[in-house]
Structure 1
Amino acid sequence: MRQNPSFAMSDVGEIRRLIEQNPWVTIVSSTENGLVASHYAVLLDADRDDLTIVGHVGKPDDLVHGLGERELLVVVQGPHGYISPGWYGDVQSVPTWNFVSAHLSGVPELLTPEENLQVLERLVARFEGGLPQPRLMWEPPNDPEYVRRLERGTVGFRLTPTKVVAKRKLSQNKPDETVETVITELEAGESPYADPRLPAEMRRDLETRKAAR
C-alpha cells in the first residue's frame, strides 16, 4: 500500500482499534506457485499491548502458506466507501474512495496445540458474545474430544509484525465544511458503496483533528 504522509496512521492505539473492530482479514503469502490469499478471523494477543495478532488457519492452508517459514502480509480492512465529486461543491474534482486500512507483515510463530485451543476459545467467545444465547466452544453438545479434534484440524499462529503500513484516508485534505458535507451525504445513504460506519469514522477523525489545532 503506497503511503501518503497526509493520510498516514501511526498511532498504535488507533491501529489496535482498527484490528479489534475489523477482525476478518486477508492473509497473503508468496509461494513457489505464486501469490496465495486466504481469509480468516484474528484477534489482538491478549498478553501484549502492541500489534501482535493471533489466529489460526485450517489445514492444509498452513502448508500452502508455508506458515512459520515465510513472511505473511495480513490486510486489515476498515470502513470504506465511494466519495462523489458532486459533494465537493462547484469546484474541479474527481471521484475518490475513503478508507481505513492496515498492512501487517512478518514471519508468524506457530502455536502449540494448547495455545491454539486458547485462541480458538477466545475467537468463539468473541463472536458468540453478542448473541442472546451464546454457544461457547466447550459447551454441550460439544464434548472435549470433539473440540480437540477440531483443534487438530487447524494450525494456530502468533504474528508480531516487523513492518506496519496503516492508512486513514478520510478527506483530511479537504476543508472542514467539505468534510461535513461528505459526512452528511454518507449519513443520508447517498453512496450505495459505503460502509455505514464510514461517516462515524470520518466524524471521529474530524473532531480529533479540530481538537489538536
Structure 2
Amino acid sequence: MRHSPHHVVTDPEVVRRLIDEHPWATLVSVNDGEPVASHYPVLLDDRDDDQLAVVTHVGRPDDQVHGFGPGNEMLFIFAGPSGYVSPSWYSPLGVRAPTWNFSVAHCYGVPEILDPDENVAVLTRLVARFEQHVDAPVYLDPELGAKLAPGTVGIRLPITRFVCKVKMSQDKDPQSQQQVLEALRRPGPYQHLALADDMERALAEDVSARR
C-alpha cells in the first residue's frame, strides 16, 4: 500500500480489533511463482501470550494450492467497511478530489500446520463464534467435528509484521469531516452507517493521539 502518514497505523491493538470485528480474510501466497488467493473466516489466536496471531483452516486441496511449508510466507488481508467519498461533501477549504475511505491490514507470517485435535478445536471455535448470534444456534459437536476435520487443514499464522492503513478523512478540516459523516448517514445510494461509525471512531482516536 502507498505510505500515507495521516493514515498509517502501527498499533497492534488496532489490527487486533480489525481482525476481531471483520474476520473474513483473503489469504494470499505465491506457489511455484504463481500468486494464489483464498477466502476464509479467521479468528484471533486465544493462546495466553503476547504474540499477535490468527487461526483458521483451509479446505483440501487449498493447502497444496498455497504450498504450505517451512519458510513460505503468507499474507492475510483484513478489511473493514469502505465507501466512496464525494468532493461535494467537503467544505470549500483545501483539495476537493473524490476518494475512498477504508481500513485494511496486511498481515504477514509463515503458517504453522495444526495437529488434528487443534484443528477440531479451531473449527469448534469458528462455529461457536458465528452460531451464537442466530435464533437457534447449532454448535459443532465432537462427533461431527471429527468427521469434518479430515477435509480441512488447520493453520496458525503468527503475525511477524503488518501494514495497517485507516483512511477516514483524518487529513480533512473539521467541517469537511462532519459533512462526510452526515452524508454517509443520510438515506440514499451512499448511505453507509458502518463506515460512518468507523470513521467517527478513527477521528476520535486521531484527536486523542495528538493530545
Contact 1:3–1:165 (CA<8 Å) still a contact in 2?
Answer: no
Instruction: Say if 2:68 is the partner of 1:67.
Output: yes
1:211: Cα distance to partner? 3.4
Instruction: Say if 2:89 is the partner of 1:84.
Output: no
2:168 is matched with which residue? Answer: 170
Cα distance between partner residues in 2 of 1:133 and 1:56:
25
Cα distance between partner residues in 1 of 2:73 and 2:204:
37
2:8 is matched with which residue? Answer: 8
- Specify the SS of the correspondent of 2:129: helix
Cα distance between partner residues in 1 of 2:174 and 2:91:
13
Cα distance between partner residues in 2 of 1:10 and 1:124:
31
Matches within 5 A, 1:79-118: 79-90=81-92, 92-118=95-121
Contact 1:82–1:191 (CA<8 Å) still a contact in 2?
Answer: no
Matches within 5 A, 1:1-213: 1-32=1-32, 34-47=34-47, 48-69=49-70, 70-90=72-92, 92-138=95-141, 144=143, 146-192=144-190, 195-212=192-209, 213=211
Structure 2, gaps ≥5 residues long: none
Cα distance between partner residues in 1 of 2:136 and 2:50:
31
The one-letter code sitting in structure 2 at the alignment partner of 1:73 is L
Contact 1:12–1:50 (CA<8 Å) still a contact in 2?
Answer: no
The one-letter code sitting in structure 2 at the alignment partner of 1:44 is L
The 3 A distance-change label for structure 1 pair 27 and 52 is same
Cα distance between partner residues in 2 of 1:11 and 1:184:
28
Cα distance between partner residues in 2 of 1:114 and 1:88:
54
Cα distance between partner residues in 1 of 2:203 and 2:189:
20
1:51: Cα distance to partner? 2.2
Contact 2:75–2:109 (CA<8 Å) still a contact in 1?
Answer: yes
1:118: Cα distance to partner? 0.4
The one-letter code sitting in structure 1 at the alignment partner of 2:186 is A
1:67: Cα distance to partner? 1.8
Contact 1:22–1:76 (CA<8 Å) still a contact in 2?
Answer: yes
**Identical-residue share of aligned pairs (%):** 44
Alignment size in residue pairs: 207
| CA RMSD after TM alignment | 1.6
The one-letter code sitting in structure 1 at the alignment partner of 2:52 is L
The 3 A distance-change label for structure 1 pair 102 and 195 is farther
Cα distance between partner residues in 2 of 1:95 and 1:190:
18
Cα distance between partner residues in 2 of 1:67 and 1:32:
12
- For residues 27-58 of structure 1, the C-alpha deviation after alignment (integer angstroms, 9 at most, x for no partner) is 01111261111000000001144420000000
- Specify the SS of the correspondent of 1:208: helix
Cα distance between partner residues in 2 of 1:96 and 1:126:
34
Structure 1, gaps ≥5 residues long: none
Q: TM-score, normalised by structure 2?
A: 0.92
